[in-house]
Amino acid sequence: MKSKPRASAPTTKTGAQIIVDTLIAEGVDTMFGYTGGVVLPLFDKLYDAPINFIVPRHEQGGCHMADAYARVSGKVGVIVATSGPGACNLVTGLATANMDSIPMVAITGQVRTELIGNDAFQEADTTGITRPVTKYNCIVKDISNLARTIHEAFHIASTGRPGPVLIDIPVDIAVSKHKEDGPVEMDLPGYRVRTSGHARQISTAAKAINKSKRPVLYVGGGVILSNASKELRALAEKAHLPVTMTLMGLGSFDQTKAESLDMLGMHGSAYANYAVQECDLLIAVGARFDDRVTGKIPTFAPNAKIVHIDIDPASISKNVRVDIPVVGDAKEILRDLAKEVEYQERKEWFERIADWKNKFPFRYDSASKSIKPQYVIEEICNQTRNKAVVTTGVGQNQMWAAQFYRFTRPRQFISSGGLGTMGFGLPAAIGAQIGDPKATVIDIDGDHSFNMTMTELATAVEHELPIKVVILNNGYMGMVRQWQELFYGKRYSKSYLSNPDYAAVAGALGAVGMTVEKKAEVPCAVKEMLAQKKPCVVDFRVDREENVWPMVAAGKSLDEMDGLDILESMA
């Protein structure tokens, strides 16, 4: 195992000092976290550490911020919380990061070692609670293991299939002293990562691509995590392959290119879903055949041979039987694969795709008098020239953002894909803005998603972050309402709440607030929002019962989409 440089000359240090020094040695310059009883020694050492420290208004918000910071910057996001309630409040954030394979390190305080198990004040079994929602976690009970454990946490979080790692540190470890003697060696006999793909498997995949008449590249978040967008584009161009992306994969392939089939799956494009169902070769890269992507498994891509490139062997043949698995890092494998593929014109296939694209683009009723949520997103996409970093809540707002904002580069679309965490959008925008200070960061949110974490607006104001929050306010939990309309006879059970005046809330918290009720005001409002230097919240009162189309209902095949007739009628 590689050794890490020592932070400083051998001296006697407290555990808290070792934590801070080790974080700095790992290159951490930005952290998120909330203080509390048992983390006081650590926060005392952070008082004059050269670290930009952001305090959220709630630990969950801080966890999402660290997560989005990691998604945007490619670095490891770091979150600190106190024992008991602090640690418990991280659970949703850790689960969000875990499902989307985001590299994070969480450090939690714990009660004194001799009190553990005694139901002490603010005690919770943090490692027990977070074990299923982290890639790895552990408690440090011996100060001589502290620095090594933190280095190991960063290594585990950021390599292989990334994910959150939690380290629980009892307060007596933080205050006790330890003499550091020599460099720290990692000791992880059970952790090995295979990065280069098996040469014969790659050749087999290349031959399948060269032989294929109707191939589709199906790419997921793994391509972004592995920084493999360039290699993906090279392969797609060299072999002439159409590319469809999962929600997590959006941005990995430029959606303004003709080869882009945009998103596939439940609310994916009709052309992507048809292409997957008709293809003779499906090349999955860094994607995991999630149920929102595959629809009914037995009829998924029925004519296709399947190649699956993934760094996680457990993802292969988990949901869908794979013919040619290649385990390793997407970047290396795509590069090696591109060497062995040949250009094929595939005229018929691309013509068929172009037909579907012409017939069933993402559409909405642009003649409508009310504000259509899709129109707001399209306007934002145009005015930001496809360049903004977009975060989302979860539900209709998220699906429309995925459908109507056309992404051109990786790390541009920040959304809770796997866990589907409402309330992710605002704290994610804060973390994204901190991770990419020059970017225009826009949270395209729903009213009820925003309600869940809107307290973090105060954090954005405090740090003078020019984030924009677009509330597509329909007064409903829109996606729930859509399902109730379609499957529960329009019985809108508990799917609406009374909302506050968001512009007034924003103003009270020190942000800029606007309300837009007329369609004609949309372009101006977007322009004004983009010009703001302060956090800005725009409450767009959109059509209340707009639906997301197309839709593959649960249990249906990808080509059994509802709403195509509605889309066609809007042409």
Between 322 and 341, whose beta carbon lies closer to another protein? 322
Kindly give the residue spans of alpha helices, DSSP state H, lying in 74-145: 85-88, 91-99, 126-130
Between 180 and 310, whose beta carbon lies closer to another protein? 310
The CB-of-163 to another protein minimum distance in angstroms stands at 10
Between 312 and 560, whose beta carbon lies closer to another protein? 312
The CB-of-302 to another protein minimum distance in angstroms stands at 19
The CB-of-157 to another protein minimum distance in angstroms stands at 11
- Mind giving me the DSSP string for 497-553? -----HHHHHHHTTSEEEEE-SGGGHHHHHHHHHH-SS-EEEEEE--TT----SB--
Alpha-carbon separation of residue 162 from 67, 102, 147, 458 (angstroms)? 12, 6, 21, 31
The CB-of-153 to another protein minimum distance in angstroms stands at 10
Between 128 and 302, whose beta carbon lies closer to another protein? 128
The CB-of-344 to another protein minimum distance in angstroms stands at 34
Q: Tokens in use for 511? A: 């942000």
Coil vs helix vs strand at 308: strand
Distance CA 564, CA 566 (A): 5
Between 160 and 425, whose beta carbon lies closer to another protein? 160
Count other Cβ atoms within 10 Å, centred on residue 351.
9
Q: Rule CB under 8 A: which residues touch another protein?
A: 127-128, 131-132, 135-136, 138-139, 156, 188-191, 312-314, 317-318
The CB-of-99 to another protein minimum distance in angstroms stands at 13
The CB-of-102 to another protein minimum distance in angstroms stands at 17
Please state whether 266 falls in left (phi above 0), alpha (psi between -120 and 50) or beta.
alpha
Alpha-carbon separation of residue 491 from 290, 379, 494, 495, 497 (angstroms)? 29, 33, 9, 9, 15
Q: What burial class does residue 217 get, using C-beta atoms within 10 Å of its C-beta: 0-12 exposed, 13-18 middle, 19+ buried? A: buried
Who contacts 295 (Cβ-Cβ below 8 Å, separation ≥6)?
Answer: 265, 266, 552, 555, 556, 557, 558, 560
The CB-of-329 to another protein minimum distance in angstroms stands at 16
Between 138 and 461, whose beta carbon lies closer to another protein? 138
Between 317 and 370, whose beta carbon lies closer to another protein? 317
Beta-strand (E) ranges in 258-357? 260-263, 281-285, 305-310, 324-327
The CB-of-103 to another protein minimum distance in angstroms stands at 14
Count other Cβ atoms within 10 Å, centred on residue 352.
16
Torsion of CA 455, 459, 465, 471, to 10 degrees: -10
Kindly give the residue spans of alpha helices, DSSP state H, lying in 14-132: 15-25, 40-46, 59-73, 85-88, 91-99, 126-130
Between 235 and 326, whose beta carbon lies closer to another protein? 326
Task: Tell me how long the chain is.
Answer: 571
The CB-of-136 to another protein minimum distance in angstroms stands at 4
Between 153 and 304, whose beta carbon lies closer to another protein? 153
The CB-of-169 to another protein minimum distance in angstroms stands at 15
Between 300 and 364, whose beta carbon lies closer to another protein? 300
Coil vs helix vs strand at 79: strand
The CB-of-159 to another protein minimum distance in angstroms stands at 11
Question: CA-based Rg of the chain, rounded to a whole angstrom?
Answer: 24
Coil vs helix vs strand at 325: strand
Between 107 and 548, whose beta carbon lies closer to another protein? 107
Pair 362, 232: CB distance under 8 Å? no
Between 90 and 529, whose beta carbon lies closer to another protein? 90
Distance CA 63, CA 464 (A): 20
Please state whether 489 falls in left (phi above 0), alpha (psi between -120 and 50) or beta.
left
Torsion of CA 264, 270, 276, 280, to 10 degrees: -160
Residue 131 C-beta-side C-alpha neighbours within 13 Å: 7
- 215 forms beta bridges with 281
Between 127 and 370, whose beta carbon lies closer to another protein? 127
